[in-house]
Structure 1
Amino acid sequence: MELGEVIQTAKPAFVVLGKEGQGPAEDGTNWVSELWKAVYQDLDELNTFIDKEAEEADLWGLMSDSKNWLEPWQEQGKYLAGIELPADIQVPEGWQSWEMPAMEYLVVKTDAPNLELMTQKMFEEILPGEDYQLVGAIQEHYLPKFAAGEVELYFPVKFL
């Protein structure tokens, strides 16, 4: 995907193993960055689960409101910074897993300088133009080949 490109995709249910945190939505940048630090610090604990032959690790920043599962953040948000792994693995101590349901998404690739602008464009132009409404919180997807600050934003538009 190129920066600014929007695609529609369906993703089957998947599991992300990571570090979970919760905090005020308006202060998300601060407490979420601490979760990513913890993931990278403890990542070798997952070596037995990660396929060494895989060229790409699917890293996810999953979001949910603290009161309503998978809804966009209101006052308090929950966030899971982690890696997509098979559903049948035993969750190591200190890690949490979230199972994401099968959904259809509109996905846009963006970067840190354009994140706010691209999110606004999705809400004001793309979603209404495609006659879609969000059915849950936006999820972040990162791949090792991405340049620093690049992210794919997954806008859930339909449960499958």
Structure 2
Amino acid sequence: MSDESGQFKPWNDGGLYLAGVEVENSVEKPENWTKWTLPGFRYFVVETTTYEMNKTYSDMWNYLTQNDLEIVGAVQEHQSISAENPEELELWFPIERI
């Protein structure tokens, strides 16, 4: 996910949602595709499910606020294609740009 400018900042009123796969920087993109390069962040990673995502977001905002941590980029979702349960995913909350 990214902010509307495509700079991977936190969302405000809207943003961009992209589907992708991790590749080496040297990989050429397929024709008519867009290659996005995510900046380096330190993340707080939380395992959840698609049906618990909203609660997880809320719980994380509370936790981060209570611990004086700040979101410095757009939250990323990661779903493994090899997961036994397709509802399982990770939410990656960026807390420091590196």
Q: What's the TM-score, normalizing by structure 1?
A: 0.56
Matched, 1:107 2:10: no
Return 136-145 or 72-81, whichever deviates more: 72-81
Kindly report which structure 2 residues correspond to 1:131-142, keeping only aligned pairs within 5 A, or say none.
131-142=68-79
Q: Which residue of 1 aligns with 2:96?
A: 158
The two structures, once aligned, show a CA RMSD in angstroms of 1.5
CA distance in 2, matches of 1:95, 1:71: 22
Report if the CA contact (8 A) 2:10-2:71 is conserved: no
Larger Rg: 1
For 2:71, what is the secondary structure of its paired residue? coil
1:116 to 54, 63, 70: 54
Structure-2 change in CA distance of 1:122 and 1:82 (3 Å): same
CA distance in 2, matches of 1:159, 1:73: 16
Structure 1, residues 42-100: CA drift from partner, whole Å, max 9, x if none? xxxxxxxxxxxxxxxxxxxxx11213611223334212201101110111112211111
> Which runs of at least 4 in structure 1 moved beyond 6 Å after TM superposition?
none
Report if the CA contact (8 A) 2:10-2:72 is conserved: no
Matched, 1:72 2:10: yes
**What fraction of aligned residue pairs are identical, expressed as a percent?**
35
Task: Give aligned pairs, total.
Answer: 97
For 2:52, what is the secondary structure of its paired residue? helix
Which of the pair is proportionally richer in strand?
Answer: 1
Q: Which runs of 5+ in 2 are unaligned?
A: none
Which of the pair is proportionally richer in helix?
Answer: 1
Q: Which runs of 5+ in 1 are unaligned?
A: 1-62
